[in-house]
């Protein structure tokens, strides 16, 4: 299970539209995750002024499909967690509540379906 988790994280780290993880640290009761900087802000901010082009929306769907193909469920995919890079590509961020889908027959409570 641990090897599978590490493999999934490594696969995510290599995708160009997943925010690049740089490092993390923990001190007392505080944690800090450091990722690449995306100067374009979030899609949420972008949508306040413009409409997302269809080409960009389709690309985002393909990126989410890639994440799901790794059996990872983001669980908090919203416009605030979609960041715009300098080249105008969208990067998926904030995997803090993501979960690896180990067995599709398990319910959310962790019991097998009858």
pLDDT digits (tens, 9 = 90+) for 7-18: 656 666 677 778
**Which among 76, 80, 87, 103 is annotated as catalytic?**
76
Q: Any catalytic annotation for residue 87? A: no
What's the whole-number mean pLDDT along residues 43-60?
Answer: 79
100 to 8, 73, 88: CA distances (angstroms): 8, 6, 29
Distance CA 1, CA 102 (A): 9
**Residues 6 or more apart whose Cβ sits within 8 Å of residue 77:** 64, 92
pTM (predicted TM-score): 0.55
- Reply yes or no on domain 2-100 having CATH 3.40.1010.20: no
Paired sense of beta strands 99-100 and 82-84, if any: unpaired
pLDDT digits (tens, 9 = 90+) for 78-110: 888 888 888 878 888 876 655 555 544 444 445
Q: What is the pLDDT of residue 112?
A: 46
Q: Which of 110, 114, 91, 112 is nearest to 99 (CA)?
A: 110
Asked if residue 32 has pLDDT above 80, the reply is no
Q: What is the pLDDT of residue 87?
A: 83
């Amino acid at each position: 299970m641990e090897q599978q988790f590490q493999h999934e994280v490594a696969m995510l780290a290599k995708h160009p539209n997943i925010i690049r993880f740089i490092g993390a640290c923990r001190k007392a009761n505080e944690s800090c995750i450091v990722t690449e900087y995306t100067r374009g802000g979030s899609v949420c901010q972008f949508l306040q002024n413009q409409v997302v082009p269809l080409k960009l929306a389709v690309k985002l769907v393909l990126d989410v499909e890639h994440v799901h193909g790794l059996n990872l469920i983001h669980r908090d995919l919203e416009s605030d967690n979609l960041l715009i890079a300098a080249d105008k590509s969208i990067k998926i961020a904030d995997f803090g509540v993501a979960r690896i889908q180990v067995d599709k027959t398990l319910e959310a409570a962790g019991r097998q379906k009858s």
